[in-house]
Structure 1
């Protein structure tokens, strides 16, 4: 019998998800997550820059981008914020000569530093840059995130790419919600910066956690479908909205608080996206999981 694909009612999801959120062992998983990089920096200026850079590069396997990011941060030490604000492409671009990660090359990091330097010079902080033009402060986060990304894409990057040019790799760092993709990495960055409870650090006080969208990667996509948060087949912005809307029915003030626990439950192997009598035995989500709603385990 095929697994159930119905959406799950919010009142059925509330207890198992709230329990998962309360009881999840965040401490043991933080060191296996990209959030560990900004958490190393006590200075808010360093943490803000490192959080954005870490989130932008957080695609692919964690162990792969972590190695690349470690090398970058070593070159930016002891203060990544000071490195960025004082960045001179002629003098400093060579620091990234050894960087090579999937779509991104050394010049993409140099462009990141040039754009961040210009925006910090204009706004003072990335939070003020993000909030510029966000007059309502209560509407959907998409248009505000779009403006933020465009500021990085529209910066004068001619010292790196030449006038009017931009690399595919750099463009990949700053996706636009209007294109329709899930913008997982930038939504992840916002979760880190805005949420006030661990494992997030909530440096930004001008954005309400209620406005955030779930960062949708393959782990969240699969587990969300398993427990009835979405029936969509395409991982895109609309899926992020649908999942967030479902979670907002449980906690409208902080709908993305479940992201870390759900994602790491899947990453750790505690959820296999199939029925397994051994692995699934201790799982508190079985009552809302499509693999356990009906049917019997295969022999």
Structure 2
């Protein structure tokens, strides 16, 4: 397929899948329950953190998190007491357990109290072309609070070779515009052109089948290669093609 034909094909798939009708079965449905900026970004960050495995299980457990946070994630993060944290003890999603969740609540409180919030960190530390260095810096700042070493695995680090799929997905949610009713467009200080594709087994397989990606591993180098290919088709909003790649992989078994 020639470049122009591929772009036409993928643009049509973006229009098909970047649509609110897919929200119900997607983890992004969880932060869509909230109105306040901080509630949206905290619920989105926590939901993205556990976004691996069965999507129904991800959504159910993300909803459980919100219930444990009393449906007020920012207020809980900002004002919780040690006693409040005890109510989080029943939580578990695969290898992310209550000890991890409690650390994440403390880490988020630290980010909002000492670093100006989530958006502030990514605004300050993102490069002109991508957010990958900002992800590394964010992880370092997030774990300035006391934590178990095992908990650090739940935030990936591109500088150590990770594709960082979940946090790249979270950034897509926050930065891409809200015109289709899917992503939020909350963070005006970053541009969609800086985003990287949330590369996973589905999008990676489709990207390779379409000739957009040659590298076999789904790692940081593959993300950079895929970004380069997608930016050729739309330099201002390359990550819109995440909808096409994911939809083709999951719904059409391309």
With the length of structure 1 as denominator, give the TM-score of the two structures.
0.80
| Alignment partner of 1:142 is 2:132 | yes
Please give the alpha-carbon distance, in whole angstroms, between the structure 2 residues aligned to 1:240 and 1:262: 13
Aligned residue in 2 for 1:284: none
Match of 2:166 among 182, 185, 207: 185
Matches within 5 A, 1:288-299: none
1:156 aligns to 2:137 (yes or no): no
Matches of 1:45 and 1:39, distance apart in 2: 12
Q: Between 137-146 and 180-189, report the one with greater CA deviation.
A: 137-146
Distance 1:55 1:25 in 2: 18
Closer/same/farther in 2, CA of residues 245 and 25 from structure 1, 3 Å limit: closer
Greater percentage in helix: 2
Q: Which runs of 5+ in 2 are unaligned?
A: none
**Segments ≥4 residues shifted beyond 4 Å:** none
- The structure 2 residue matched to 1:226, chosen from 198, 201, 209, is 209
Tell me the secondary structure at the aligned position of residue 31 of structure 1.
helix
Query: How many residues matched?
Result: 252
SS at match of 2:27: coil
Contact 1:26 1:261 in 2 (8 A): no
| CA distance in 2: counterparts of 1:124 and 1:77, whole angstroms | 23
Distance in 1 of aligned mates of 2:175 and 2:121: 14
Within a 5 Å distance, the mapping from 1:67-106 to structure 2 comes to: 67-88=60-81, 90-106=82-98
Contact 2:121 2:134 in 1 (8 A): no
CA distance in structure 2 between the aligned counterparts of 1:87 and 1:132, rounded to whole angstroms: 27
- Give the Cα separation in 2 of the matches to 1:127 and 1:227: 34
Q: What's the CA shift for 1:9?
A: 4.8
Q: Which among 250, 256, 260 is matched to residue 243 of structure 2?
A: 260
Distance 1:235 1:133, change over 3 A: closer
Match of 1:113 in 2: 105
Q: 1:152 to 1:25 in 2, by over 3 A?
A: closer
Q: Which residue of 2 aligns with 1:174?
A: 155
CA distance in 1 between counterparts of 2:225 and 2:188 reads: 25
Specify which structure has the bigger relative contact order, considering alpha-carbon pairs within 8 angstroms and separated by 6 or more residues: 1
- Residue pairs, 1:201-280, within 5 angstroms: 201-268=184-251, 270-271=252-253, 273=254
Report the CA distance between 1:99 and its aligned residue.
Answer: 1.0
CA deviation vs aligned residue, 1:25-59 (integer Å, no higher than 9, x gap): 62221111111111110111100111111111111
Match of 1:56 in 2: 49
2:3 paired residue number: 10
- Larger gyration radius, structure 1 or structure 2: 1
Q: Given the alignment of the two structures, is residue 38 of structure 1 paired with residue 31 of structure 2, yes or no?
A: yes
Tell me the TM-score normalized by structure 2: 0.93
1: CA distance, partners of 2:122 / 2:40: 16
1:27 corresponds, among 20, 27, 36, to 20
Q: In the alignment, is the contact (CA less than 8 A) between 1:130 and 1:144 conserved in 2?
A: yes
